[in-house]
Every structure is written in structure tokens, then in C-alpha cells.
């Protein structure tokens, strides 16, 4: 109403030759500006917050420091036992993927610095000691996004057997045309990649490639998990011997009372018996089997232990169950047949989980203790796919 009154008065004055058009326009502009100002956000927004298992807020720097300290203490034990980092993500959460990359880079950098102290001649991606002997950073990466029968194709991408390289950017009469990546094209043709691979997982694989790190395909082929769901765990025994090399030796341990499997059973109302939770368990068991079987060995004089960073959906590592439980089972099984009279120091497992909340400023009670570190993002966070 106030704006209409101002315009009416100004039009009347203009008709009398008293007020110019410019003043009329300015009056309307001022009123609109006042309206816009009312919608100015009253506070900043926060993209994520990291918490400890007990719900204490920590910064990213503190998170890396705490993780590094845990890795260091583990490596100082007799035999330099390894540390496994299970990074639980939400597959479509951009903060998960961003922090996966940042975490990997920072863990690698800290390990590389320690390696440089014992081999001053080291070069990034091609470490050599003073005698010219190759020394690799004892870090391995792996992910559930690759299945065990895809390892050969993945290795070919990491260490190509041919000399094909990326083509340079070409300039044509029609303008610039970007070059391609033949190795990536070969990978896409060889195996089925996740729809968000290029944006969310390829940077991690490329980091491994650039720094001569192994990247392990850890998940059981989907068709065999489906076979367990349809016909039970015993169906895996009917497969040819070469296919049995793609998952752990049967029979595998299974505990239906673990919350991660009990919840699945409960959600289905018991229909199908234990087949559905067992089809989840065979994934966890295979990932644990591949992780434990590829723990990096440490070079001579290196004071720390090897590290394996694994990227998986949060459900596969929440509450220190699933993959972690199977890592412990795998370790016990190997110890029982080892030459050690006294088992070596156990592998340390550090878990990270991702959660969304309406408010990230405090960790909700239901999320306490689900992992060693919990990354919380707003529930309206944009998705990668």
C-alpha cells in the first residue's frame, strides 16, 4: 500500500511539472531494495562437521592429527603391524568423496615424509633409496566399487602394458578440441564402472596411479552375491575352481546375531530366511579377505606400519561390525595356521562414517559410537548422482 501511495503522489507531482522521471524510478528502487534486504540470511551455513565417537567436535586438522597418531602408535608395536582405515561413505554425498581424497592425500604425505627420512633420494611416485633401490610408500588403496574379477583390468589401467598416452589438446578451424585418454577408454570397455565413477572414484584411482600405489578390487562379483541370495551360501560350492578364487574359502564364519545382519533379517520379516543377510555378509567377508591379504609390507628401517585405506558404503563398516568383524575373523584364521607360537600384534582398524542431519552443530544421539570418526553433512546437501 505504501508503494502504491508513493507512486500516486509522484505521478500527480509529475503531471504538475514538479518531479522528474528519475526520482519516480529511484523511489520504486528504494522500496524494492528494502524488500530484498529482509531475505538476507541471518547466519552462515556449514557444509560438514567431524565428530569423535563420543560426539566431540573436531576440526579436519585435528581429525588428521588423531588418525596419524593412531597409525604411528600402531606402527611402533613389535612387528610394525598394519592399520586399516575403513572410510564409510554415502555413495552420492559430495562431502564424503571430497574428504576421502583429502584424507588419502594427507595420510600419503605423512607417510612419504617419514620414508624420505630413511631414503633422502626419494622422488614422488618413484621412490629410491641412496643405493638406487626402489622403496614404495607402504600404503594401499581399495574399494567395494570394484569386484575381484575386475582386478586385471584395473591393474592394466594403473600400469599400462602399452605406451598409449593421453592425446594433446588439438586446435582445429572450429576451435579447440580436448584430447582423450585411451587408457580410461579401455577401462570403461573392459568393466562396468559405477555411474559416478568419473567424478567420485576415478580421482582416487588416478592418485594411486600417479604415486605407484596398489588399488585393490575388493568386492565379490555381484552375480555370486545374488546366487547366495537366491540359493544360499552352499551354492558357491557348485562353482568351478577358478571362480572360487574370487571370494574367501568356504565355509565362511557367519554370525546372524550381529546387528548389521539382524537388521536386514528383521526388515524382511524373516522372508527368505538368512539368505539376504548372508548375501550381504559374503560381500563383507570378501572385502575383509582382500584387504587383509593385501596389507602393505614396510621397508627396512621404516618405523611405522603399513596402511590400507578402503572406501565402502557406511553400512559395511558402521558399529565396528561387517568388514571389521570379518577382518578380525580372517586374522584369527591365519594366526591359527601360522608359524608364530605367539600371534603378532593385531591389525588396527579405524572407522569413518558419514551421516546427514538437519542440524550439523551437534551429533544426534543415534549417531554416537557408530565409528571412530563421524562426518555429518546437512540433509539437504546436494548429491553427486
Pair 323, 288: CB distance under 8 Å: yes
Q: Which residues on neighbouring strands pair with residue 91, listed in sequence order?
A: none
Whether 121 and 221 share a structural domain: yes
13 and 103 fall within a common domain: no
- Would you say residue 349 lies in a domain? yes
Note whether 206 and 292 are same-domain residues. Answer: yes
The pLDDT tens digits along the chain (385 residues) read: 444 444 343 434 333 333 344 433 334 444 444 455 565 665 789 999 999 999 999 999 999 999 999 999 999 888 889 999 999 999 999 999 999 999 999 999 999 998 888 776 555 444 454 444 557 899 999 999 999 999 999 999 999 987 665 544 444 555 544 557 899 999 999 999 999 999 999 999 999 999 999 999 999 999 999 999 999 999 999 999 999 999 999 999 999 999 999 999 999 888 888 999 999 999 999 999 999 999 998 888 888 899 999 999 999 999 999 999 999 999 988 887 666 655 678 999 999 999 999 999 999 999 999 999 999 999 999 999 9
Q: Is 385 domain-assigned?
A: no
Dihedral sign (CA 275, 279, 280, 286): positive
The number of domains in the chain is 2
Domain membership flag for residue 383: no
Pairing of strands 215-219, 139-147: parallel
**Which residues are within 8 A (CB) of 268 and not within 5 positions of it... i.e. 6 or more apart?**
276
Residues 33 and 163 in one domain: no
Distance of CA 19 to the CA centre of its chain: 65
**What predicted TM-score, i.e. pTM, was given to this entire model?**
0.84
Q: Is 244 within the bounds of a domain? A: yes
Is residue 384 domain-resident? no
Contacts of 190 (CB under 8 A, 6+ apart): 150, 153, 156
Same domain, 23 and 66: no
Q: Show the domain range for 26.
A: 2-37
Amino acid at each position: 500500500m505504501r508503494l502504491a501511495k508513493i507512486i500516486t503522489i509522484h505521478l500527480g507531482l509529475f503531471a504538475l511539472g514538479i518531479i522528474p522521471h528519475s526520482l519516480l524510478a529511484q523511489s520504486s528502487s528504494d522500496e524494492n531494495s528494502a524488500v530484498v534486504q529482509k531475505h538476507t540470511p541471518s547466519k552462515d551455513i556449514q557444509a560438514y562437521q567431524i565428530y569423535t565417537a563420543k560426539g566431540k567436535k573436531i576440526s579436519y586438522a585435528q581429525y588428521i592429527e588423531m588418525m596419524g597418531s593412531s597409525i604411528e602408535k600402531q606402527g611402533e608395536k613389535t612387528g610394525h603391524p598394519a592399520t586399516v582405515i575403513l572410510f564409510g561413505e554415502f555413495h552420492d554425498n559430495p562431502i564424503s568423496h571430497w574428504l576421502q581424497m583429502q584424507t588419502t592425500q594427507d595420510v600419503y604425505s605423512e607417510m612419504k615424509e617419514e620414508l624420505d627420512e630413511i631414503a633422502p633420494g626419494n622422488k614422488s611416485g618413484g621412490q629410491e633409496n641412496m643405493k638406487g633401490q626402489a622403496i614404495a610408500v607402504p600404503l594401499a588403496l581399495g574399494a567395494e566399487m570394484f569386484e575381484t574379477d575386475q582386478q586385471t583390468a584395473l591393474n592394466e589401467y594403473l600400469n599400462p602394458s602399452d605406451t598409449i598416452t593421453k592425446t594433446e589438446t588439438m586446435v582445429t578451424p572450429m576451435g579447440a578440441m580436448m584430447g582423450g585418454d585411451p587408457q580410461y577408454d579401455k577401462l570403461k570397455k573392459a568393466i562396468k564402472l559405477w555411474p559416478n565413477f568419473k567424478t567420485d572414484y576415478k580421482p582416487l584411482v588416478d592418485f594411486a596411479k600417479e604415486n605407484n600405489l596398489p588399488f585393490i578390487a575388493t568386492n565379490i562379483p555381484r552375480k555370486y552375491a545374488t546366487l547366495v541370495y537366491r540359493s544360499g551360501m552352499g551354492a558357491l560350492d557348485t562353482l568351478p575352481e577358478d571362480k572360487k578364487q574370487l571370494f574367501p574359502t568356504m565355509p565362511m564364519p557367519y554370525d546372524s546375531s550381529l546387528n548389521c545382519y539382524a537388521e536386514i533379517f528383521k526388515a524382511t520379516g524373516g522372508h527368505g530366511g538368512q539368505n539376504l543377510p548372508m548375501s550381504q555378509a559374503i560381500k563383507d567377508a570378501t572385502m575383509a579377505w582382500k584387504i587383509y591379504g593385501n596389507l602393505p609390507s614396510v621397508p627396512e628401517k621404516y618405523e611405522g606400519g603399513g596402511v590400507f585405506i578402503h572406501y565402502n558404503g557406511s553400512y559395511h563398516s558402521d558399529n565396528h561390525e561387517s568388514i571389521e568383524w570379518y577382518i578380525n575373523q580372517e586374522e584369527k584364521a591365519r594366526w591359527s595356521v601360522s608359524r608364530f607360537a605367539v600371534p603378532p600384534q593385531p591389525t588396527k582398524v579405524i572407522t569413518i562414517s558419514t551421516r546427514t542431519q538437519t542440524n550439523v552443530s551437534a551429533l544426534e544421539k543415534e549417531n554416537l559410537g557408530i565409528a571412530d570418526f563421524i562426518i555429518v553433512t546437512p540433509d539437504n546437501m546436494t548429491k553427486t548422482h
